[in-house]
Chain A
Amino acid sequence: MKGTAGRVKSERQVEREKLRRKRALRSGSIASASTFVFLVLVVLLITNSPGWDRVRETFFSWEAFTEALPDVVAGFWTNIQIFLIAEPLILLIGLLIALVREVKAPVFFPLRALAVVYVDVFRGVPTLLIILLVGFGLPALQLQGVPKDEIALGVIALTLSYSAYVAEVFRAGIGTVHPSQRSAARSLGLSHGQTMRHVVLPQAVRRVVPPLLNDFVSLQKDTALVSTIGVIESLRQAQIYASSKFNYTPYLVAALLFILLTIPMARFTDYLAARSERRRGA
């Protein structure tokens, strides 16, 4: 506390701070009270609904929960693996596509056109459809070197879909770097590539970290879509259990696991956004 050290606070300031504390306390109690009332109302509404007894049995069965947990968790490990492999691939390919679209040299026209088509196609087709097409279509071609493994096919499909999004995120980031920065770099004698690498990209990447993380939260959830091509991941495990025991609690287990995975990412995104906000304010 600078300046307040050897100084006695005035009567008025003491009074003011007392009042402020009282106010803070009051806002705090109002917030807790209203939250409590709200929760009670929600619980009452649900538990008094006509179908509640049945729902409790099929969705909130403790027995089914503990029984299904190990299998669903084991399946969830597959989700995590898919995510961990797909994420770096997506970053790499997304960045490459964004860069290709920035290169203006005429030799690269076919490449640039290809990048545009790629983004248009894979951003336009629903992810689920891409997974089905890749999962069932690619192996059917019987090409040499195409993996037969469903997990690998799932990774390929997710990478195709998400790298199109991520490419656009990178491109938007590149677009936000002020043109004078390029002029300044070029006037120092840096080539187009050097300007990109040392001046434009470092600034662009910093700006797109929050939207990228947002895309990754979405990717984590979409790993469940690969269950449609036969990958036994958490959703599929829950499905297997649910259909054999006629109990849906395992879905709840899977949902909880996904939430547990995405929450840290979401908080991290918030933290980064807040930090860059503070930086700008400083």
Chain B
Amino acid sequence: MTLLRIENVWKRYHDHDVLRGVDLAVRPHEVVCLIGSSGSGKSTLLRCVNLLETVDDGVIYLDDQDITAVRTDADEVRKRIGMVFQAYNLFPHMTVLENICLAPRKVHKVGRSRAEGDARDLLARFGLADKANAYPDRLSGGQQQRVAIIRALATQPRLILLDEVTSALDPALVTDVLGVIRELKEGGMTMILATHEMGFAREIADTVCFLDGGVLLERGTPEEIFTAPREPRTREFLRSVLESRRL
């Protein structure tokens, strides 16, 4: 049983193949971490799943529905997938509460009072109850990202995609955001994360995938990837990450 199945996906920008035949299956409640150097195609893969990009070849199935078919209603697919980006997530002209309620109200046609009630519950659950009426520019970067995650969560998606949600943050703020993701995992949310936080990937992932130049070179449990990588390129990448840590 798979929730998401990516089969032989190719994506090209201009003359450059950014994804070169990626295969990946994600089970319900599974947490998949995508790792790999900058430019390896992590963001592109997530954007393809969310249909923000059209694939140049291959198929993506969500709940056994081919979402890469020409006739697919992209808006309908995106209702089932939440996505959080690295930065510029929140709408600056809306309060936190309005940000969270926008999609439930306009897309899912939930009534105002119910949407706001649910939003406040979520905010309280993640320790942001007092920020409901604040505008995003009054929040710290970490708080903004937590709100962005809550906003993605508010539509009760089948799957959440997180694209380096901590890489624009101070180390001190990262912890809070990771805490939210940890809690989502405990709640059984299916997630795909692109991340540079190897320690976190190791802790939270069920499966770690190493992308290299648009190829999904190696996948396995965190144990396998971080302690006994098979591919020389994976080893090299992990070594370079370790070295940059030490600096």
Contacts and interface: CB of A to CB of B under 8 A. Distances in A.
A181 B47 CA distance: 14
A178 B93 CA distance: 13
Contacts of A186: 52, 74-75, 78
Interface string B73-87: 011101101110101
What range describes how many residues of A lie at the interface? Answer: 10 to 19
Interface residues of B, number: 29
B155 interface: yes
B102 A180 contact: no
A88 to B, nearest CB: 23
Contact of B92 (A183, A185, A191, A203): A203
A16 B180 CA distance: 52
A199 interface: yes
B105 to A, nearest CB: 10
A194 B102 CA distance: 10
Contacts, number: 64
A190 B106 contact: yes
Interface in B56-82: 74-76, 78-79, 81-82
A180 B90 CA distance: 9
A50 interface: no
Contacts of B106: 190, 194, 198
Interface string A59-84: 00000000000000000000000000
B163 to A, nearest CB: 10
A187 interface: yes
B159 to A, nearest CB: 12
B75 A189 contact: yes
Contact of B107 (A180, A181, A189, A206): A189
Contacts of A187: 50, 52, 78, 81-83, 152
Nearest to A201: B93
B151 interface: yes
22 contacts: A178-B88, A180-B87, A180-B88, A181-B91, A183-B47, A183-B52, A184-B83, A184-B88, A184-B89, A184-B148, A187-B78, A187-B152, A188-B82, A188-B102, A188-B107, A188-B155, A189-B103, A189-B155, A190-B75, A190-B107, A203-B93, A282-B137
Interface of B: 47, 50, 52, 74-76, 78-79, 81-83, 85, 87-93, 102-103, 106-108, 137, 148, 151-152, 155
